[in-house]
DNA sequence: TGTTAAACGAGACGGTACGTCTAGTCTTCGG
DNA sequence: CCGAAGACTAGACGTACCGTCTCGTTTAACA
């Protein structure tokens, strides 16, 4: 059997070393400090090997996201059956995560990369927002089945809201007070409209 | 009377030219393409004149924000007295604004600058999120006074939510369907919890 | 019966293609533009096939010289019996050859290779200067036998002189006026010393 | 009065450092080992400062020649009035100079640069061959005036011959035996033609 | 009305990183 | 086991910016 390809095969070791070096440097010093030279040196690899497989440092970051070299431990909501507390607990866990300046810095570095490179943005969505969105939607649908959430609730919009609320604060370098989290959950579950029907 | 200062006075013309050039270039080519050399050349100014008054290109961007050279036409909610439709209309206007790729690109460029520089982040908050937050809070409080919004609503959290929902989409290069806007407003006003009290 | 050697035998075709490609590229673009990659590509050969048999591009050039892929049509003095006109004719032919910019460029490329690599220098001497030297020495010795050249003439030095005179001009990008050739021959045969013995 | 030029003036210190570094590195490691990076590092100068003023490393070498950073101590014939011994002594001195491997290596490096760059070739001629040629011509003309050299001697051709004889050997990595020098002088002054008139 | 001092346009400075190219080595497949 | 293909480390290439530092010029306030 033949592969139809000749020549030396791509070094998986080099690939790993590059992605690991990129993830490490990104977390340590941010996006602006990241350079292809430094990635190559840290990975013990020729610069050309980086450029052979990726078009730019952003593309390397995109693959880091895809392969879980950053943001690997995704924080997803638990499903205890109580949708309201599940969502609240998840939101608190996420806020805790971003309270660590290291994590917040990594997050901002990713946002910087994403705002300049469509591919990073897509991967970041696939890896972070997307799964969170899915998990939240499932969580809320479970709430509907359990009778905790009204069955005509705009579930995807709510999921977007929850993610956006956290993201906004992270990018704005604003520490998120836990009270905000409760407010968010309260507003979303109970609504802010006055219960005027009774009047 | 003396000013205590001698020598030539700062050129307001140069200052304006620099801020205008920065705003133009930022909108045209994004944050990564922006360079102090280009700013100076475009403004017809020596590079040192930029560095004399600002510490970095980020600082120039921050002042652009502060002085309204970018994001000058802030989109704020109208106040017709109907809080729910005011919020809905505002949100739709904002989504329309970000639907234009030019505006979305400028927004992402600002986010990139903000994620790397605390000062830009602060100015962006002051100029964009802050006023929006204030306006939304006022809008919702007016709703409370008008009996449209329950008086124990977590108003600041709701404002955060609304802003974050839009921001998330803008940074993720995701076009925001108008249906989402309605869902967001619906969820926030009516809540997603099942009306289980009556049972 | 076996030859004691196994596997595929060295491809004479590949060897020829490499030497031909080297000679062609050297003549076309000079030494600095020559690269092993280009040689291999032009020859339709893998780079390793070059390095398997030669240690560097200089070594390939050296073998090109040795095998007559460059400077194959060596210009040697005819032997008509008239040493003075033989030498003059040869010198004129050589000057004609180097008058063609292509030939001069090739010659300079070889000189560049020779000045950086001892092996090329040795081959260049073997191939070019050496045979010329020998031929000239023979020519002059024939002149001695014919009574045209004094029998105590420093024959090897004269041969060196003739070669060096041409070489100098070629390397210095100086077109050689034919008058110079006659002057050289005149000086060497008649000497420059005044015929003061008679006084 | 104005100079018509604005902006910071060229640093003479940087210029000197670059030329000195180039001369040093060229003498130490040859032309192929010379790189603009190394020149800049050795000179304590930014790479761009090299490229701002010279188009290539060859151009720097050309200016090194022009300004006497290499080949500054030109070996010229003394003029004692005895043309034959003056020429002989000069030739011996030159051969001595090139006997030192350092000097021979520098000379070959210059030849390599010259064979690839017309400007270097011109400067090398101006700085080395040209003055030697002039000095030799003067020396021989003095010999004519003193009655030592026949007055119809092809003086420029003889000068060329003397220079070329040395050059050829230097480039060919051939140590020049002192006997050769005497042979050269003998051939040039006495001629190699048999003194057939007396027979 | 000069003198002084700061800001100006211009542009060279020492550096860092870019993305490309080449050298010479190593590894795979196919003949 | 040879030869092609081509990936590998290493490092130079020439360019673009960084932030700093002169230059000579211009423009105030001070003397």
Among C30, C115, C189, the residue with its CB nearest the CB of D171 is: C115
Q: Where are the domains of chain B?
A: 12-66, 83-194
Confidence class for position C8, pLDDT limits 50, 70, 90: low
Specify the pLDDT at position D71: 86
Specify the pLDDT at position C65: 85
Using left for φ > 0, alpha for ψ between -120 and 50, and beta otherwise, residue B68 falls in: left
Nucleotides of F under 7 A from a protein CB: 1-30
Q: List chain C residues with CB under 8 Å of D166.
A: 164
- Whether residue B44 lies within 8 A of chain A, CB to CB, comes out as no
- State the nearest residue by CA to the C1' of F2: C8
CB contact under 8 A, B172 and A115: no
**Same CATH fold assignment for domains B12-66 and B83-194:** no
In chain D, alpha helices (H): 12-33, 36-43, 47-53, 57-66, 83-99, 101-116, 118-124, 130-145, 155-171, 178-190
> Domain C83-193 sits in which CATH superfamily?
Tetracycline Repressor, domain 2 (1.10.357.10)
% of chain D residues with pLDDT over 90: 27
What is the CA C163 to C1' F21 distance in angstroms? 56
Among B111, B155, B158, the residue with its CB nearest the CB of A171 is: B111
- Whether residue C101 lies within 8 A of chain D, CB to CB, comes out as no
Q: List chain C residues with CB under 8 Å of D124.
A: 172
CB contact under 8 A, D166 and C164: yes
Q: Which DSSP string corresponds to B149-198?
A: B-TT--HHHHHHHHHHHHHHHHHTT----HHHHHHHHHHHHH-SB--GGG
Specify the pLDDT at position D199: 38
Specify the pLDDT at position D197: 39
* B36-67 residue pLDDT tens: 999 999 999 999 999 999 999 999 999 999 89
Nearest to D125 by CA among D137, D111, D112, D138: D111
Tell me how far apart the alpha carbons of residues C148 and D194 are, in angstroms, rounded to a whole number: 5
A43 or A103, higher pLDDT? A43
Mean pLDDT of chain D: 84
* Mean pLDDT confidence for B57-85: 88
* D17-61 residue pLDDT tens: 999 999 999 999 888 889 999 999 999 999 999 999 999 999 999
What is the CA A137 to C1' E15 distance in angstroms? 52
The CATH code of the domain at A83-190 is: 1.10.357.10
- Whether residue B169 lies within 8 A of chain A, CB to CB, comes out as yes
CB contact under 8 A, D125 and C174: yes
**Interface mutation target, options B160, B177, B179, B181, chain A, most CBs of A under 10 Å:** B160
Confidence class for position C9, pLDDT limits 50, 70, 90: low
Mean pLDDT of chain C: 80
* C117-133 residue pLDDT tens: 788 888 888 888 888 88
Domain B83-194, second-level architecture: Orthogonal Bundle (1.10)
Identify the CATH class of A12-66.
mainly alpha
Q: List chain B residues with CB under 8 Å of A195.
A: 150
CB contact under 8 A, D115 and C108: yes
- Whether residue D121 lies within 8 A of chain C, CB to CB, comes out as yes
HSE of A85 in the Cβ direction (CA atoms, 13 Å)?
Answer: 4
Q: List chain A residues with CB under 8 Å of B121.
A: 171-173
- State the nearest residue by CA to the C1' of E21: A48
């Amino acid at each position: 059997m033949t592969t139809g390809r000749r020549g030396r095969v791509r070094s998986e070791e080099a690939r790993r070393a590059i992605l690991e070096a990129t993830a490490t440097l990104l977390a340590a010093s941010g996006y602006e400090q990241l350079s292809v030279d430094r990635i190559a040196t840290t990975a013990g690899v020729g610069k050309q090997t980086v450029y052979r497989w990726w078009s730019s440092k952003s593309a390397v970051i995109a693959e880091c996201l895809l392969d879980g070299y950053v943001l690997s431990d995704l924080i997803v909501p638990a499903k205890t059956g109580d949708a309201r507390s599940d969502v609240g607990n998840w939101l608190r866990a996420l806020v805790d995560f971003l309270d660590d300046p290291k994590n917040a810095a990594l997050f901002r570095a990713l946002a910087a990369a994403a705002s300049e490179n469509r591919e990073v943005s897509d991967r970041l969505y696939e890896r972070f927002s997307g799964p969170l969105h899915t998990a939240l939607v499932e969580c809320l649908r479970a709430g509907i089945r359990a009778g905790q959430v009204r069955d005509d609730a705009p579930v995807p919009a709510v999921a977007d809201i929850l993610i956006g609320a956290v993201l906004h604060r992270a990018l704005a370098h604003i520490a998120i007070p836990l009270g905000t989290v409760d407010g968010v959950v309260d507003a979303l579950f109970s609504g802010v409209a006055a219960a005027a029907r009774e009047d």
